[in-house]
Amino acid sequence: MKKRLGWILGAVVVLYGLASAALYSAMRLPPERFGAIMAHVPLPAMIVLPFQPLWMSARGGTLQPGDVAPDFTLPTVDGSRIVHLYEELRREQPVVLIFGSYT
């Protein structure tokens, strides 16, 4: 009986690890793809799996305060032109990047 219980416990631990690894891998994907995957994850899984620690690790980034902002290219809100961070902004003035949701 103890041996069987040990096997069951081991299987649960392995499945928990695999589910956590799969969730972490999904979190590293672009937001659209991550959202599509998460739409199929049942709520009990979100309660059992360590969502917040995995999220903070997967999406935390590597920039620290005072680091040079990474160069990137984005369209303006109205789509009239493309802005290159380094070429157009950083040479002329300091730039502060704020990432967040305003919805």
Give the residue-averaged pLDDT of 13-40. 93
Domain assignment present for residue 103? The answer is: no
Round the average pLDDT of the chain to a whole number and report it: 85
Q: What is the pLDDT of residue 66?
A: 80
For the chain, the domain total comes to 1
Does residue 67 form part of some domain?
Answer: yes
Query: Which residue range forms the structural domain that includes residue 16?
Result: 2-90
- Segment 76-102, tens digit of pLDDT: 889 998 888 776 665 667 777 677 766
Q: pLDDT at residue 72 above 90?
A: no
Residue 101 lies in a domain: no
pTM comes to 0.61
What is the distance in angstroms between the CA of the first residue and the CA of the last residue of the chain? 55
Please report how many Cα atoms fall inside a 13 Å half-sphere around the Cα of residue 100, on the Cβ side: 4
